[in-house]
């Protein structure tokens, strides 16, 4: 059982929205770079748009491959995670869009933690509006005014008096000093999370579902990107935990694809690759197993 908690940190890498063709190019070229760094790619390399499907046609050396692209994220495993991400991003937009309303939050981190008791049928926009409204009050940050010269206080003392905004429509809101020191006058950072347990079997099933959805006669190689850039320009670091879960515990028994000759998962921004399936006797884009 894996719990995705409040360390669901969004990194904004690009100013969104980011068109899907650009997202696909970023994911593919990052993957090809990883192959090249590991000495697994034949050069020269050429990429052209496919017929959708496939998304791309890649020529490596003297071989050509029909490559389909997809992603694997916690939001595919647990919708609550996707909801928490959306609420967090909307809160961030509201805070940065009205800096004069929130001068007390500059240089601080706003933690928005979803619970299983969230009211139904409330839109993410409505929740973000309410959180932004309560944050107009200056309650300081957790730990402000505490005397720590004699060590941390006993459990149950006034540790959470400052910076604690309590429950807001099913999300617990805390303002803290950031883990990494930031400029005093920098915009607040919003960190959103959801206490959402997920088993290894669910993670594997999410992977199997992506493979089944893309197993079509037009596709030969399926590239699955973990922790990649999305259409809003964000990269969610917690998605790397999903990659680690499958890498460390195995992908289980994948139903053999009918059409795909290879399936590989790439952790975006790294040279880490997870080989999921290779059809024996077929020439592969990476020339040999990538593990």
In this model, does residue 60 exceed pLDDT 90?
yes
What is the per-residue pLDDT for 241? 83
Q: Distance between CA atoms of 291 and 210, rounded to whole angstroms?
A: 21
Same structural domain for residues 146 and 44? no
Same structural domain for residues 63 and 205? yes
Q: Confidence band (pLDDT; 50, 70, 90) for 2? A: very low
128-187: per-residue pLDDT in tens?
Answer: 999 999 999 999 998 777 666 666 666 555 555 789 999 999 899 999 987 665 556 788
- Given 144, 167, 195, the domain boundary residue is 195
19-34: per-residue pLDDT in tens?
Answer: 999 999 999 999 999 9
What is the per-residue pLDDT for 195? 67
Burial call 91-120: b when 16+ CB within 10 Å, e when fewer: bbebbeeeeeebebbebbbbbbbbeeebee
Reading the block at residue 115, the tokens are 């619970």
Number of structural domains (the chain) is: 2
Structural domain for 272, as ranges:
8-76+198-278
What is the per-residue pLDDT for 1? 40
CA 21 to each of CA 30, 46, 118, 278: distance values in angstroms, whole numbers, following the listed order: 14, 16, 35, 26
- As to burial, measured by CB atoms within 10 angstroms (0-12 exposed, 13-18 middle, 19+ buried), residue 230 is buried
> Greater confidence, 9 or 110?
110
- Given 180, 195, 210, the domain boundary residue is 195
Q: Is residue 226 situated within a structural domain?
A: yes
Q: How is residue 180 annotated by DSSP?
A: S
What is the per-residue pLDDT for 5? 41
What is the per-residue pLDDT for 108? 92
65-74: per-residue pLDDT in tens?
Answer: 999 999 988 7
């Amino acid at each position: 059982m894996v719990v995705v908690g409040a360390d669901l940190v969004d990194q904004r890498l690009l100013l969104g929205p980011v068109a899907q063709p650009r997202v696909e190019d970023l994911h593919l070229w990052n993957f090809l770079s990883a192959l090249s760094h590991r000495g697994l790619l034949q050069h020269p390399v050429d990429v052209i748009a496919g017929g959708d499907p496939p998304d791309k046609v890649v020529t490596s050396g003297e071989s050509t491959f029909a490559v389909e692209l997809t992603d694997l994220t916690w939001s595919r495993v647990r919708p609550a995670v996707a909801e928490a991400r959306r609420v967090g991003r909307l809160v961030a937009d509201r805070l940065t869009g009205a800096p004069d309303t929130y001068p007390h939050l500059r240089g601080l981190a706003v933690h928005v933690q979803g619970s299983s008791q969230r009211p139904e049928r409330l839109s993410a926009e409505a929740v973000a509006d309410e959180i932004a409204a309560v944050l107009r009050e200056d309650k300081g940050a957790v730990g402000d005014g505490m005397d720590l010269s004699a060590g941390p206080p006993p459990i149950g003392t006034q540790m959470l008096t400052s910076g604690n905004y309590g429950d807001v429509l099913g999300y617990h809101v805390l303002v803290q000093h950031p883990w990494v020191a930031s400029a005093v006058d920098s915009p607040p950072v919003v960190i959103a999370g959801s206490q959402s347990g997920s088993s290894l079997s669910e993670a594997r099933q999410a992977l199997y579902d992506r493979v089944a959805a893309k197993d079509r006669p037009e596709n030969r190689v399926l590239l699955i990107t973990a922790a990649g850039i999305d259409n809003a320009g964000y990269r969610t670091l917690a998605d790397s935990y999903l990659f680690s879960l499958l890498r460390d515990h195995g992908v289980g028994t994948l139903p053999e694809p009918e059409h795909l000759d290879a399936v590989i998962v790439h952790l975006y921004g790294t040279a880490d690759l997870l080989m999921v399936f290779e059809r024996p006797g077929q020439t592969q884009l990476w020339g040999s197993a990538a593990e």
